[in-house]
Amino acid sequence: MSKQPLTLYLAAPRGFCAGVDRAIKIVEMALQKWGAPVYVRHEIVHNKFVVDGLRDKGAVFVEELSECPDDRPVIFSAHGVPKSVPNAAQARNMVYVDATCPLVSKVHIEAQRHADAGLQMIMIGHEGHPETVGTMGQLPDGDVLLVETPQDVATVDVRDPNQLAYVTQTTLSVDDTADIVAALQARFPKIVGPHKEDICYATTNRQEAVKAMAPKCDAMLVVGAPNSSNSRRLVEVGARAGCAYAQLVQRAGDIDWRALSGIQSIGITAGASAPEILINEVIDAFKERFDVTTEMVETAVENVEFKIPRVLRTPG
């Protein structure tokens, strides 16, 4: 019996970004330098396959610094941490390596700079997300106000409407964030924004590729973890851009084949913390069932690379 033909659109860019790549390398190099166990505060990146692979090599994942012994190295995740965490590590004389994505660190520096200039901070982000917690934790408790929607802007209670600045989580939907920024600027005309967009290049690029791909597809799958903000945003962007069926899958075993019966085209992309091996696993699953023709939908070329911290580049 011949296989049904299927056009598979593959988004580019997709998958790992420079910040995720750097964070994983930091854990691997720390294990090489200091041996196992190396402790990691919070999942280094939001992907179970990646975390399980590092755990197999000797990484121990914990949620709080209090779960780490004083005499083993600890790594802070790519999402960033509140200032209180490295302060506590220093107080305990711990060896620690900060794997915070440099683009998240840029937002931290921005927040501090605005606060030093006497401005009250408003953060656009998702409550409880590690990156939001880390960014808000750069300043004293209560100094950063969180808004998640344009509706939140109407009720936010500020000290002085003329002394405000905003920052954003780096993994948000570009379009949703623009709506919130517009609401902030309408209510607080003097609010100061970032010099350069806080939403990172990788998030923006992956969303643009999905927007270009979605109208061509009967269905779209985003390879990524349910706790990955940027992966979940890709599903939303795909649905909004005209794809009738957009779903998040962690790997090939999660594909709902019944929901895909009768499709003639599928779009595949992946969040910034999903490794290429899982993307290939999903593509192979379609090749087993369909006569696949693959077309690339490329909207940007990425060549960003971030330096590994010096402590891991020096021997001993």
Q: Which of the residues are catalytic? A: 131
| End-to-end Cα spacing for the chain | 62
Residue 313 identity (one-letter amino acid): R
Asked whether the beta carbons of 228 and 46 are under 8 A apart, the reply is: yes
- Taking the CB of residue 181, how many other CB atoms lie within 10 A of it? 18
- Taking the CB of residue 117, how many other CB atoms lie within 10 A of it? 10
CA atoms within 13 A on the CB side of 207: 21
Cα–Cα distance measured from residue 207 to residue 13, given in angstroms and rounded to the nearest whole number? 9
Asked whether the beta carbons of 210 and 182 are under 8 A apart, the reply is: no
Asked whether the beta carbons of 186 and 156 are under 8 A apart, the reply is: no
Cα–Cα distance measured from residue 178 to residue 59, given in angstroms and rounded to the nearest whole number? 39
SS3 40: strand
Between 201-213 and 174-187, two packed helices, what is the crossing angle to 10 degrees? 120
Cα–Cα distance measured from residue 6 to residue 244, given in angstroms and rounded to the nearest whole number? 16
Cα–Cα distance measured from residue 130 to residue 135, given in angstroms and rounded to the nearest whole number? 9
